[in-house]
Amino acid sequence: MASLQMNSPIGRNALDDAGTDAIVGKPLDRVDGRLKVSGGARYAFETQQANTAYGFVVEASIGKGKIRSIDSRAAQKAPGVVLVLTHLNAPEQGTGNHREAHPVLTGPDVTRYGQPVAFVVADSFEQARAAAYLIRIDYDQAPGKYALRDGLKQARIPEQADAPAADSAVGDFKAGYESAPVQLDVTYTTPLQSHAMMEPHATLAMWQGDRLTLHTANQMLNQGREAIAKTLKLPGENVRLVSPFIGGGFGGKLWVNADAILAAIAARQLGRPVKTALTRQQIFHVTTHRSDTIQQIRLGADADGRLLAIGHDVFSGNLPTEQTYEGAALQTRTLYAGANRLTRHRLAPLDIPVASSMRAPGEAVGLMALECAMDELADKLNIDPIELRIRNEPAEDPEKHVPYSSRHLVACLREGAQRFGWQNRNARPGQVRDGRWLVGMGVAAATRGNPLRHSKANVRLGPDGVAIVRMAMTDIGTGTYTILAQIAAEMLGLPMERVRVELGDTSFPEAAGSGGSFGAASSGSALYEACDALREKLAGIAGMDPATARFADGSIASGEQSTRLTDLVGAGVDADGEIIPGRTSKDFSQQSYGAHFAEVGVDEDTGEVRVRRMLGVFTAGRVLNAKTARSQAIGGMVFGVGAALHEEMTLDPRFGYYVNHDLAEYHVPVHADIPAIDAIFLAELDDKSNPLKSKGIGDLGICGAAASVANAVYNACGARIRNYPITLDKLLAKLPAEA
Ligand code: MOS
């Protein structure tokens, strides 16, 4: 086992030596691409098991109150029905916040609209669904608080154990702001959002005695196993999660959802496998969402645009029993210089479904406010928005007072400006026309924290010359299979087709999973260490010095001597690797960076907004695969266009439910909304981050993207819309009169 704790920077290592033949970094096609387009990749709901029964979730149709009675007699007599689970016959379960446990059907209390109140199981999904509509439930309704704006008075300081402190103060914000020659005080709002991933949440649950196997769509299998074990009161080792393919998650599958627990309970009671999937409509209420936010930004600057005071206050909402808050002011603690700083988060208790992580929790909506406020300040000062950002580039992290591990925001801004043709932008809004379109350009900075998490990996080289990589990592569509294969191929001197990566099973070594932009770095580093250990073993068998041995073309060589690896491994040789976060994450401020450039057209009469061009320039350490990295970045930028212009769950404040709970009315960008988008990564190695010298990119693309679009809308037509999304009804009244 090669175990590395990241306590000091990484020196020159095997990946640095690969040179121009390097496999890591190449824009290779996905190794699982053919399986996916040919239907060979089995997702949770597609897993087949004999004698499977199917479950359908029944949702509460009130926002808050109590179940007075449930009449399930008709459902029980309906064709094919084998079980109706309600709180009257569900087992006692372990409890905790939504990250720790997911108890279901625990009693008559209804805490939110869409809470599962029954689970109907039948021989077919259609029978279960038909029977579900026969269940009659009477409720005693209680008054609920649903809209964020109605919960502000009760908002409290959140105490989320695994998140930074809700408040941070440096210097004297009040004095710095009040004495600043130029002041900006603006409030932005962002709406409730839903992950809208492609694959619905689904689970197949099977028991063998008191051992449970779940084929389930889940981003973090080891964490999921713990939560399921806690909920079902089982030892962790009795629970196995299998999730080799996941059709997107964006955070919506980070935690265990009702599908997994309901299927497990029903399968145990019935003594047969139970499968279930949420319908598209159910996903909106039954699973998590991103809270809406109210964000006040106060910037104080001198006449040259140097920030003297930065204030960012954020309200978000969650169930009274949850502490998870939308950390929208967190990046404001590190992005720009300034002596006097105040950032605060408040959490309003609301009686709506659990709010949790959605792609770039914190930055995604925080930068929608901060990076527009910077644009407003630039406008007020008559300074170019890129220049304003450059003038506020910090020499060290302004709150932690430690150096940045690496930071090239200015290079991203400059490179992007040149490539995008920023010099052609007219700083005065409403001046550029193309027929009936008012045309404008906008810029925004991108930044995202770069976390590392504990992970393990195993790699085995067999007598057939094929290396098999195993870990309980997931690939949610990002390209994890591919980059792990590249790392193993590089390290062991094998062609890509001689590496097989097996993921998505808790019987493999524990891994971080996919989330928070920590997936590739954490799993890839564990694999790097495993390969390093295997190299050492192989060199030992070959009688060579591991420090000078070269691995290429399926051979190990040292000096004149060269041996085929297949001649060394006998029945097979394997090694384990492990990465453990350490001091470099405290001694250095670690973020990835970028700059977004957008050009939009605003219809002079209707206010219709069309994105015309977009460019993202990023730095995120070593790029592990230029193609999948670019796809990730572009996907994030598309997500940003949606956040700026389309996405919004509309809450009915009387009843606490989302009116537009389907993809017909919850608008995400479609092809017609997305023009040519390009994303590039500037060369960078971050030796403080991990052995790969990479940084996370899963979230970076969305960070700041929406703000660049909003700033372009302002530049196009002079209308500053501070409540997202920027829909044409909000623009209409503000369009230039002469247009
Ligand atoms: Mo991401 S919100 O951590 O899946």
Query: How many A from CA of 377 to the centre of ligand 1?
Result: 31
pLDDT range class, residue 738, cuts 50, 70, 90: low
Nearest to 175 by CA among 311, 354, 8: 311
In a mutational test of the pocket of ligand 1, which residue from 195, 199, 250, 330 has the highest number of ligand atoms less than 8 Å from its CB? 250
> Is residue 256 helix, strand or coil?
coil
Report pLDDT digits (tens) over 543-566.
999 999 999 999 999 999 999 999
- 443 and 470 housed in the same domain: no
Q: What is the pLDDT of residue 274?
A: 99
Tell me, in angstroms, the distance from the centre of ligand 1 to residue 698's CA.
Answer: 8
Backbone angles phi, psi at 123, to 5 degrees: -70, -25
Ligand 1 atom closest to Cα of residue 251: 4
DSSP letter at 1? -
Who's near 151: CB < 8 A, 6+ residues apart? 145, 317, 348, 349, 350
Residue 699 CA to residue 632 CA, distance in Å, equals: 8
Pocket test for ligand 1, best of 357, 448, 473, 522 (most atoms within 8 A of CB): 357
Q: How many CB atoms lie within 10 A of CB 456?
A: 27
Closest to 241 measured CA to CA, from 268, 223, 265: 223
Identify the domain boundary among 546, 564, 580. 580
- Which of these, 431, 212, 307, 351, lies nearest to 654 by C-alpha position? 351
Q: In this structure, what CATH number is given to the domain that contains residue 276?
A: 3.30.365.10
Nearest CA to ligand 1 atom 4: 251
Q: How many domains does the chain have?
A: 3
Within-domain flag for 220: yes
Q: Could you tell me if residue 149 is inside a domain?
A: no
Q: What is the average pLDDT score of the chain?
A: 97
Query: Which of 241, 258, 286 corresponds to the end of one domain?
Result: 286
Answer yes or no: is 152 within a domain.
no
In DSSP notation, 268-308 reads: HHHTS-EEEE--HHHHHHHS-BBPPEEEEEEEEE-TT--EE
In this structure, are residues 307 and 337 in contact, taking their beta carbons and an 8 Å threshold? yes
Both 24 and 70 in one domain: the answer is no
Q: How far apart are CA 590 and CA 114, in angstroms?
A: 39
Q: What would the mean pLDDT of 106-114 be, rounded to a whole number?
A: 98
On whether residue 120 sits in a domain, the answer given is yes
- 190-216 tens-digit pLDDT: 999 999 999 999 999 999 999 999 999
Q: Tell me the C-alpha distance between 724 and 710, whole Å.
A: 9
If DSSP states are collapsed to H, E and C, what string results for 459-504?
EEECCCCCEEEECCCCCCCCCHHHHHHHHHHHHHCCCHHHEEEECC
Could you tell me if 564 and 435 lie in one domain?
no
Both 64 and 97 in one domain: the answer is yes
H runs (alpha helix) in 42-124: 73-77
CA of 517 to the centre of ligand 1 (A): 7
Q: Given the CA of residue 249, which atom of ligand 1 is nearest to it?
A: 4
- Among 580, 600, 626, the domain-final residue is 580
Q: Which atom of ligand 1 is nearest to the CA of 254?
A: 4
The CA distance from 103 to 451, in Å, is 29
Q: What is the pTM of this model?
A: 0.98
Residue 176 lies in a domain: no
Cα(347) to ligand 1 centroid in Å equals 20
Peptide bond between residue 725 and the one before it cis (omega within 30 degrees of 0): yes
Please report the atom of ligand 1 found closest to the CA of residue 250. 4
Query: Phi and psi dihedrals of 611, rounded to 5?
Result: -75, 130
Q: Examine residue 328 and state whether it is found in any structural domain, yes or no.
A: no
Q: How far, in Å, from the CA of 420 to the mean position of ligand 1?
A: 30
Q: Is the pLDDT of residue 720 over 80?
A: yes
Q: Is the CB of 327 under 6 A from ligand 1?
A: no
How many angstroms is it from 515 CA to the middle of ligand 1?
A: 4
Q: What is the pLDDT of residues 235-292, one digit of tens each?
A: 999 999 999 999 999 999 999 999 999 999 999 999 999 999 999 999 999 999 999 9
Based on the fold, state whether residues 431 and 390 are members of the same structural domain.
yes
**The predicted structure's pLDDT at residue 739:** 46
220/85 same-domain check: yes
Q: Ligand 1 centroid to 370 CA: how many Å? A: 21
254 lines ligand 1 (CB under 6 A): yes
**Residues 627-654, mean pLDDT to the nearest whole number:** 98
In the reported structure, the alpha carbon of residue 387 is separated from the centroid of ligand 1 by a whole-number distance in angstroms of 32
pLDDT tens for 27-39 read: 999 999 999 999 9
Shared domain check, 207 and 108: yes
What would the pLDDT profile of 644-683 be if each residue is shown by its tens digit? Answer: 999 999 999 999 999 999 999 999 999 999 998 999 999 9
Cβ(330) to ligand 1 under 6 A?
A: no
Question: Does ligand 1 lie within 6 Å of residue 361's CB atom?
Answer: yes
Ligand 1 centroid vs 519 CA: distance in angstroms? 10
Say how many Å lie between the CA of residue 254 and the centre of ligand 1: 7
* DSSP letter assigned to residue 219: S
Residue 82: domain span: 44-142+200-286
463/559 same-domain check: yes
Same domain, 593 and 619: yes
